[in-house]
């Protein structure tokens, strides 16, 4: 039942002239944005354009320096998260904000701000509902978002995708009028995303105003009624659904037409490359038993090869690459690297042999947030130019500057703390850190999650260039287009086993999709 809005009615939300400065950076320079009831507004822009900052102001997380915000035409004061909440605004953050030590129901109903400060106080005295009722209500919300874990499951035990669904359930519990979703699908499987889209359509039909941030064009095409584009902290355009073609949106985002090939040109015979030293694999994995997996996994990768790992979220790809990297030692099986036995017991062992992993969860494993861009970039490689026993600051600065330029990292300087960078730029710092190491084998787990279209093409070029230099690249990705566009071969995993290996000539969305889900190709819709 959608709520028709008469032309005379004021907009559900009107933000005007919003300005926000951080030391050295103008994040927002007089931005305006309008959202209507019963509408999905896509908020688009390159990494660092100011999307998350604008939405944090709306959610009361940060105050604006200037500008006004109206809801139903009335001027409001969004001082603090609680004030925003009471005005019906729910913000689903780009970085997950749940308390991992509390269970699902507690996270939904207690709110992580309070829970983080004092879980005990919240559980004991301030619980808004009796436990049984809380669990029942949580179960209903979980069913709506399609998460079938019991409400008493600790959030720490959930996958990133499942945590995202809990965040969404929490927004639903608040019965908000305006729901902001900041890159909600970046860690969801295709199935989970489809479920989320159903939830969004239902909310729209109920008259909720949804502001949707994403770097994925297909989603925007699928969902958005209107598109607002930011560039360098300025509002550069509004497009109605029928005029919002991908080309138009991208042109507004980057301020020029993007031309040329998205994926770098590939030869179909990587192994015949002159760089490779014969047909011997660089890494050979035999019957590797990852903790929790039902059977051993075998595969090999040659120098200069890009090996893709496809599979649904939860298919066991992250666990597998973490075992190869020594995060969790294997329970059985053998690995050989460059002809010598390879059995890393911790990441440091792997790094010494030239194996690097850029992890999926950058906040937990990839970065030291309170440290600078320069320090983070050199973190892993410090040992290699630390010959005299102290940190060579000049080298550190040079390495950092090279990577900032190579990846187009948007930062006011290399001394800037990583915690203040936009999400996509943090991701680029993680990549830069490993590129600086000149690895033999580079493992990338979801390398372009949260990265904007222009920067994404740049990362593809970098990855292809590394492979051309003879680096073996093992790439886990849930983006099938990316796997098909970049990989020489694809290993498809299903339920923690290898479901199949495809050569470049045999790639197709249908084939990979069928192996991922276990359906016969005919049953898989394209
Ligand atoms: N707390 C902070 N301190 C300093 N600078 C900040 C802070 N928060 C954001 N910025 C800066 O503000 C600008 C806008 O960042 P924002 O996170 O809003 O970008 P975004 O559009 O959400 O990008 P992405 O697509 O990468 O998530 C960036 O230059 C960022 O470095
Ligand atoms: Mg952001």
Q: Which of 18, 50, 181 to mutate to test the pocket of ligand 1 (most atoms within 8 A of CB)?
A: 50
pTM: 0.77
94 close to 51: Cβ distance less than 8 angstroms: no
Report whether pLDDT(111) > 60: no
Tell me the CATH number at 288.
3.40.50.300
Identify the bridge partners of residue 229 per DSSP, sorted by sequence position. Answer: 44, 237
Number of domains within the chain: 2
Q: Show the CA angle centred on residue 291, arms to residues 290 and 292, nearest 5°.
A: 110
Torsion, CA 209, CA 213, CA 219, CA 223, rounded to 10: 10
For the stretch 241-282, pLDDT in tens is: 999 998 899 889 888 665 555 667 654 444 444 444 456 899
Q: What is the mean pLDDT of residues 47-76?
A: 95
Read off the pLDDT band of 5 (50, 70, 90).
Answer: low
**233 found inside a domain:** no
pLDDT at 118: 45
Going from the Cα of 222 to the center of ligand 1, the distance in angstroms, rounded, reads 26
Q: Mean pLDDT for the chain?
A: 84
Q: Which of 405, 438, 471 is the last residue of a domain?
A: 438
> What is the CB neighbour count within 10 angstroms for residue 130?
9
472 and 350 in a common domain: yes
Q: Which residue's CA lies nearest to atom 2 of ligand 1?
A: 420
Does 421 lie in the same domain as 306? no
Query: Is 38's C-beta closer than 6 angstroms to any atom of ligand 1?
Result: no
In whole angstroms, give the CA distance from residue 237 to residue 253. Answer: 9
Pair 280, 316 in one domain? yes
Cβ of residue 372 lying under 6 Å from some atom of ligand 1: no
Q: Indicate if 456 and 498 belong to the same structural domain.
A: yes
Tell whether 312 and 425 lie within a shared domain: no
Q: Whose CA is nearest to atom 3 of ligand 1?
A: 420
For residue 381, is it within any domain?
Answer: yes
Lowest mean pLDDT among 19-23, 197-201, 291-295, 352-356: 291-295
DSSP summary character for residue 154: B
Same domain, 299 and 416: no
| 398 and 450 in a common domain | no
34, part of any domain: no
- Tell me if 460 is assigned to some domain: yes
Half-sphere exposure (Cβ direction) of 270: Cα atoms closer than 13 Å = 27
Q: Which class for 41: exposed (0-12), middle (13-18), buried (19 or more C-beta within 10 A)?
A: buried
45 C-beta closer than 6 A to ligand 1: yes
* One domain for residues 468 and 488: yes
- Does residue 415 sit within a domain? yes
Looking at residue 127, its pLDDT comes to: 56
Question: Tell me: the pLDDT tens digits for 396-430?
Answer: 888 889 889 888 888 888 999 988 888 888 888 88
Is 501:492 a contact under the CB 8 Å cutoff? yes
| 426 touches 455 (CB < 8 A) | no
Q: Residue 1: pLDDT band by 50, 70, 90 thresholds?
A: very low
Ligand 1 near 416 CB (within 6 A): no
Query: Which two tokens mark 308?
Result: 């893709």
Quote the pLDDT of residue 299: 95
Q: pLDDT at residue 464 above 60?
A: yes
Write down which residue in 385, 408, 438 finishes a domain.
438
For residue 515, being part of any structural domain is answered with yes
**Residues written for the chain:** 526
If asked whether residues 416 and 462 sit together in one domain, one would say: no
Domain boundary among 384, 410, 438: 438
Is 58 near ligand 1, meaning CB less than 6 Å away? Answer: no
**pLDDT for 224-245, tens place per residue?**
999 999 999 999 999 999 999 9
pLDDT digit string (tens) for 361-377?
Answer: 666 667 777 788 888 88
The answer to whether position 31 is within a domain reads no
**Domain contains 200:** no
Please give the residue range of the domain that contains residue 414: 368-438
Q: What spacing in Å lies between the alpha carbon of 425 and ligand 1's midpoint?
A: 9
**258 or 131, greater pLDDT:** 131
C-alpha 263/C-alpha 261 separation (Å) is 5
Do residue 430 and residue 492 come from a single domain? no
Q: Indicate whether 510 and 445 sit together in one domain.
A: yes
| Unique residue bearing structure tokens 């032309």 | 7
Q: What is the pLDDT of residues 195-204, one digit of tens each?
A: 889 989 999 9
Mutational pocket test of ligand 1: of 54, 419, 422, 425, the residue with most ligand atoms within 8 Å of the beta carbon: 422
346 and 459: one domain?
Answer: yes
Place of tokens 């006011």: 412
pLDDT score of 386: 47
Ligand 1 atom nearest residue 183's Cα: 27
Handedness of CA 125, 128, 130, 134 (dihedral sign): negative
């Amino acid at each position: 039942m959608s709520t028709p809005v008469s032309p005379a009615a004021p907009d559900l939300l009107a933000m005007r002239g919003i300005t926000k400065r951080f030391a050295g950076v103008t994040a927002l320079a007089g931005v305006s944005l309008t959202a209507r009831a019963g509408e999905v507004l896509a908020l688009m822009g390159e990494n660092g354009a100011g999307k998350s900052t604008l939405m944090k102001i709306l959610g009361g997380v940060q105050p604006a320096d200037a500008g006004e915000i109206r809801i139903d035409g009335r001027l409001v004061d969004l001082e603090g998260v609680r004030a925003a909440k009471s005005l019906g605004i729910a913000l689903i953050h780009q970085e997950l904000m749940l308390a991992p030590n509390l269970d699902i129901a507690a996270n939904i109903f207690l709110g992580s701000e309070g829970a983080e400060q004092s879980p005990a106080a919240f559980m004991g005295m301030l619980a808004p509902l009796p436990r049984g009722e809380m669990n029942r209500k949580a179960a209903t919300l979980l069913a709506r978002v399609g998460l079938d874990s019991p409400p008493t499951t600790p959030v720490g035990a959930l996958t990133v995708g499942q945590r995202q669904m809990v965040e969404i359930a929490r927004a639903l519990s608040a019965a908000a009028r305006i729901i902001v979703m900041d890159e909600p699908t970046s860690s969801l499987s295709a199935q989970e995303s489809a479920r989320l889209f159903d939830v969004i359509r239902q909310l729209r039909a109920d008259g909720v105003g949804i502001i949707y941030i994403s770097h994925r064009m297909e989603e925007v095409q699928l969902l958005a009624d209107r598109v607002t584009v930011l560039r360098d902290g300025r509002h550069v355009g509004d497009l109605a659904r029928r005029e919002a073609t991908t080309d138009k949106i991208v042109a507004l985002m980057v301020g020029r037409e993007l031309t040329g090939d998205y994926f770098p040109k590939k030869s179909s015979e990587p192994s015949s490359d002159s760089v490779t030293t014969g047909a011997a694999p660089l890494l050979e994995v035999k019957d590797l038993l990852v903790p929790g997996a039902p059977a051993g996994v075998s595969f090999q990768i040659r120098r200069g090869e890009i090996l893709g790992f496809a599979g649904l979220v939860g298919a066991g790809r992250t666990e597998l690459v973490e075992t190869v990297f020594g995060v969790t030692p294997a329970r059985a099986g053998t690995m050989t690297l460059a002809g010598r036995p390879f059995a890393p017991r911790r990441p440091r062992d792997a790094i010494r042999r030239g194996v690097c992993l850029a992890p999926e969860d950058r906040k937990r494993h990839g970065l030291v947030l309170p440290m600078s861009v320069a320090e983070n970039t050199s973190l892993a490689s410090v040992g290699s130019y630390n010959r005299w026993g102290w940190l060579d600051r000049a080298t550190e600065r040079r390495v950092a500057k090279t990577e900032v330029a190579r990846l187009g990292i948007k930062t006011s300087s290399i001394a800037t703390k990583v915690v203040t960078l936009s999400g996509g730029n943090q991701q680029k710092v993680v990549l830069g850190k490993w590129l600086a190491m000149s690895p033999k084998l580079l493992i990338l787990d979801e390398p372009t999650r949260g990265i904007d279209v222009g920067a994404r093409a740049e990362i593809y070029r970098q990855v292809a260039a590394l492979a051309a230099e003879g680096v073996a690249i093992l790439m886990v990705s849930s983006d099938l287009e990316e796997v098909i566009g970049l990989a020489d071969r694809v290993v498809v995993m299903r339920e923690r086993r290898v479901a199949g290996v495809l050569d470049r000539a045999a790639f197709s969305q249908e084939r990979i999709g069928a192996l991922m889900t276990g359906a016969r190709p005919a049953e898989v819709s394209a």
